[in-house]
Structure 1
Amino acid sequence: MKIRVPATSANLGPGFDSCGIALSQYLTIDIGPETQKWQIKHQLGSNIPSDEKNLLIQTALDLAPNLTPHQITMTSDIPIARGLGSSSSVVVAGIELANRLGNLGMTPQKKVSYATKIEGHPDNVAPAICGDFVVASYNNNEVNFVKHTFPDCDVIAFIPNHELLTSESRAVLPKEMSYRDAVKASSIGNVMIAAVLNGNLPLAGKMMEKDILHESHRQHLVPHLKKIREFCKAYGGYGSFLSGAGPTVLVLTPPENTEKLVTALKAFDHEAEIDVLSVEKEGVQIF
């Protein structure tokens, strides 16, 4: 049995800690034979545990402590600490591992609720579980979410050659904001979501670039964001936004403009990884 979980991008600009999309990069868990102790085979680096200390197994055992150990092969093309949901994908895979091996019969609602309690917000885990575009709310320990089809487009990921830890990126955010700014931020996010639901990517992209909740406070950590926005406008992209806590920036574009944008981004930073992705319509899958 294999478990496959997509990468995700959270926030989409003004949808801070609420909106997210699933992307066509994946974490794959191949469940092998039973063993005396959990064995995780991977090539993700020496800092990733290969036993029960791995986040995958810790998550699964929290849900189902009596699971029989297995040999597991873990592969991933989701960059670590780049704002593409690498840790969330492992949490979601751990939940599905427990669900399948423990015959828990978890509904999507239960999966999202449990994953949100672990992560602290649903913007990555909800699309990783459900796929596509998800708008979610986590208040008073209750999670509510809605999945909807994201309009067709190419998603260009500009992935810098350096990490940015979520803890560092969150540390620069203000503790509070004025009521007037909160209303403004809400209106921007509301229009962005409505535009996505209406299939209006030019308007959605415009609103994605008007966020005042987090991107303005993180600009000094991601100086490349401003330049990428210039390329986006010059070469016909719909809009660009910081992916999660960064440093990755995503650019939404019509397919006919993708090549021009990719060429400009590669010339801008030869060390950055430039990937052309799509919105993954399915969430966690079993093969």
Structure 2
Amino acid sequence: MPARAGVRVRVPATSANLGPGFDTLGLALGLYDDVELAVADGPACTVDVEGEGAGRLPRDERHLVLRAAQATFDRAGAPRVPLRLRCRNVIPHSRGLGSSAAAAVAGIVAARALLADTHPLDDDTVLDLAAGFDGHADNVAACLFGGLVVAWGHEGTWHAARLTPHPTLRPVALVSARSSSTEATRGLLPDRVPHADAAFTAARAALAVHALTSAPELLLAATEDRLHQPYRRPAYPETATAVDRLRAAGIAAVVSGAGPTVLALTLDGRLPDDLDTTGFTVRALPVDTDGARAETL
């Protein structure tokens, strides 16, 4: 049995890629899902969901948070036990704001907290486990550690370095009313790209790290991309148009993750007054610097 009866975990939304940093850069944002995980009173797992996904998400062991939690028990060498899960979801689903990564991180961090006194797990193990659920580490690393992350894989395991974003950064999200599938938009990407486009994007990705941490005046140039965003335009033309208009106005706008949300990396939290935001909900989302946090119930 876990040494602790129950825990509460708060996990932030995230934006991956940030333009040229495809599958590498991630930023944690101040929008949160709250999860409570405890040992169940009965023989079966139970699930209660409020907010995003209520009525659509599985109410049994198939729920991603529970699957991630039970996988954590397995990795720690601890026996599985019936769990009671309560989710209060605010992060929009299938919008490019890391909702799946947040769910996986929530389950893993909650299970780690339940097992902390008997089966401790370090951050590297947690990151690698979470990336296995999400498929890559940019979103999960930002969700786990907060701030800005650079993630990479090496010999079958995932790693990440956390950086501190520049304090003047004021992200604004244009959350699309439409949903989008990561698998579908990834399917639009070609197997090969011109060498010139790869070199261009590599240079911008390196510059993006500098701009996001030390030189925000370079963000517009640093967020140019030729590797993935141009190929995904047919999946969400309204998103592509919003990005184009923001960039034409001098604002470093990118597609958030696989879209269709737009992330504007502003320094003042303002968008042009004449920007057409039809089909989007505009939300100022501060950078989250704490990442996933757990407390005992």
Pick from 61, 64, 70: which aligns with 1:55?
64
Unaligned ranges ≥5, structure 1: none
After superposition, where does 1:196-211 map in structure 2 within 5 Å?
Answer: 196-197=212-213, 199-208=214-223, 210-211=224-225
Q: Give a deviation string over 1:218-239, Cα, whole Å, max 9, x none.
A: 11222232334323543x53x0
What pairs up with 1:1-287 in 2 under 5 angstroms?
Answer: 1-32=7-38, 34-36=40-42, 37-43=44-50, 44-65=53-74, 66-103=79-116, 104-152=119-167, 153-197=169-213, 199-208=214-223, 210-224=224-238, 225-234=240-249, 237=251, 239-255=252-268, 258=270, 260-261=271-272, 263-265=273-275, 268-287=276-295
Which SS does the other structure have where 1:217 is aligned?
Answer: helix
**Do the aligned partners of 2:66 and 2:85 also contact (CA within 8 Å) in 1?**
no
| Separation in 2, partners of 1:129, 1:276 | 21
Deviation of 1:143 (Å): 2.2
Asked whether the equivalents of residues 159 and 248 of structure 1 are also in contact (C-alpha less than 8 Å), the reply is: yes
**Runs of at least 5 residues in structure 2 that lack an aligned partner in the other structure:** 1-6
Question: Alignment RMSD, CA only?
Answer: 1.8
The one-letter amino acid paired with 1:251 is A
Provide the rounded CA distance (Å) in 2 between the counterparts of 1:58 and 1:142: 20
Secondary structure of the 2:110 match is helix
The letter of the residue matching 2:191 is K
CA distance in 2 between counterparts of 1:219 and 1:29 reads: 35
Do the aligned partners of 1:67 and 1:98 also contact (CA within 8 Å) in 2? no
Tell me which amino acid in the other structure corresponds to 1:114: L
Identity %: 29
- Output the amino acid matched with 1:136: A
Whole-angstrom distance in 2 between the partners of 1:21 and 1:177 = 26
Deviations 1:179-207, CA, capped at 9 Å, x for gaps: 3432222112111212223x211212322
Asked if the contact 2:243–2:255 (Cα under 8 Å) also holds between the matched residues in 1, the reply is: no
CA distance in 1, matches of 2:136, 2:85: 28
SS at match of 1:129: helix
Secondary structure of 2:137's aligned partner? coil
Aligned residue number for residue 4 of structure 2: none
What is the total number of aligned residue pairs between the two structures?
Answer: 278
CA distance in 2, matches of 1:30, 1:144: 27
- Could you tell me which amino acid in structure 1 is paired with residue 208 of structure 2? M
Instruction: Name which of structure 1's ranges 271-280 and 95-104 shifts more when overlaid on structure 2.
Output: 95-104
Q: Deviations over 1:103-140 (max 9, x none)?
A: 33222211111112222211100000010000011132
Q: Distance in 1 between matches of 2:87 and 2:122?
A: 24
* Deviation (angstroms), 1:245: 0.2
The CA deviation string for residues 22-51 of structure 1, in whole angstroms up to 9 with x for no partner, is 001111102356322211111323220111
- TM-score in terms of structure 2 length: 0.87
What TM-score does the superposition give when structure 1 sets the normalisation length? 0.90
Match of 2:3 in 1: none
